[in-house]
């Protein structure tokens, strides 16, 4: 089954050279998804090898153009934004390529590559690149405790609205790991220069994953595969990165050092081991998701 490429104008950030590049990158990934459906293994492998080379080459070109634009407008968050590009360019894509080669371009590795690229690209556009045309890029200092919680809830709701065009309302401000249906559980682990650790837990109802990621990829997922899960992981990382200023201090910056998919049992064990500082359950029209912050 072949899929048509459809550009959603909600992805536009308002800078022509940037928007055109994003359209091209998404078109490349979509073409690779279609090529990966080919039943002839030799043809599939050749198509994926060539597609990956082109995606990598065009990504490097796009990053250079976008960074040049940021310098031209004296963008305040240039160094932070460039670091995200560097991580994708120098770490994420090479690591995905190594997995592809080591697996001899297995279907699982191809799907992971496509999911990571699409999830990273979509999240990066909707969260980071949109800041390029935002008048106020600086967040006012937020007081801790109840006021911090209020701003964190608002930030999560706005991020979900921006990414998925979904209204997210808090269902429970003291979520304790209760089962709300079949879900994907994901843990992000951070550490700062002082060795202090911080964990972020996501619990996302499977129907919400399939319908939101599917909408972004313009696909219908009858069951979750490696592409959808990998895309979801990338989106969760970028959502957390966007929210971190609401629950960490600038002078004690945290860096991601590990991430993993958890089983249902492992997710519940996290709550037994450490009670989260923040533990929020959100409801949307497409399903539930929980966002929890632990400080061991």
Q: How is the chain split into domains, by residue range? A: 9-133, 145-294
CATH fold of the domain at 145-294: Chemotaxis protein chec (3.40.1550)
Q: What is the residue-averaged pLDDT of the chain? A: 82
Average pLDDT of span 167-189: 90
Asked if residue 33 has pLDDT above 80, the reply is no
Percent pLDDT > 70 in the chain is 84
Q: What is the pLDDT of residue 135?
A: 46
pLDDT given at position 222: 60
Order of strands, sheet of 287-294, starting from the edge strand that comes earlier in the sequence = 169-172, 278-284, 287-294, 197-205, 183-191, 255-262
* Pick from 41-45, 247-251, 276-280: least confident: 247-251
**Kind plus residue range of the DSSP H or E element containing 189:** strand 183-191
Tell which CATH architecture fits domain 9-133: Up-down Bundle (1.20)
- Report whether pLDDT(31) > 50: yes
* Pick from 30, 34, 33, 39: nearest CA to 11: 30
Reported pTM: 0.66
Q: Mean pLDDT, to the nearest integer, of 73-89?
A: 90
**pLDDT of 82:** 93
């Amino acid at each position: 089954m072949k899929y048509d490429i459809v550009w959603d104008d909600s992805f536009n950030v308002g800078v022509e050279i940037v928007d055109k590049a994003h359209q091209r990158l998404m078109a490349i990934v979509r073409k690779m998804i279609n090529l990966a459906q080919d039943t002839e293994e030799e043809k599939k492998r050749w198509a994926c090898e060539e597609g990956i080379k082109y995606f990598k080459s065009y990504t490097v070109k796009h990053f250079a153009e976008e960074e040049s634009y940021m310098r031209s407008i004296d963008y305040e968050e240039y160094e932070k934004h460039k670091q995200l590009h560097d991580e994708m360019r120098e770490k994420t894509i090479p690591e995905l390529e190594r997995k592809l080669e080591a697996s001899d371009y297995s279907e699982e590795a191809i799907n992971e590559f496509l999911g990571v690229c699409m999830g990273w690209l979509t999240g990066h556009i909707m969260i980071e690149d949109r800041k390029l045309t935002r008048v106020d890029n600086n967040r006012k200092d937020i007081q801790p405790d109840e006021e911090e919680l209020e701003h964190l809830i608002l930030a999560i709701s706005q991020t979900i609205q921006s990414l998925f065009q979904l209204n997210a309302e808090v269902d429970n401000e003291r979520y304790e790991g209760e089962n709300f249906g079949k879900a994907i559980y994901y843990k992000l682990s951070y550490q700062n220069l002082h060795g202090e650790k911080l964990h972020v837990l996501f619990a996302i109802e499977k129907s919400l994953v399939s319908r939101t990621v599917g909408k972004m990829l313009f696909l219908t997922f009858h069951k979750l595969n490696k592409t959808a899960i990998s895309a979801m992981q990338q989106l969760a990382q970028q959502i957390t990165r966007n929210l971190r200023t609401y629950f960490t201090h600038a002078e004690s910056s945290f860096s991601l050092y590990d991430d993993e998919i958890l089983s249902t049992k492992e997710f519940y064990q996290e709550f037994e081991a450490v009670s989260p500082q923040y533990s929020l359950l959100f409801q949307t029209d497409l399903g539930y998701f929980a966002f929890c912050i632990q400080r061991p």
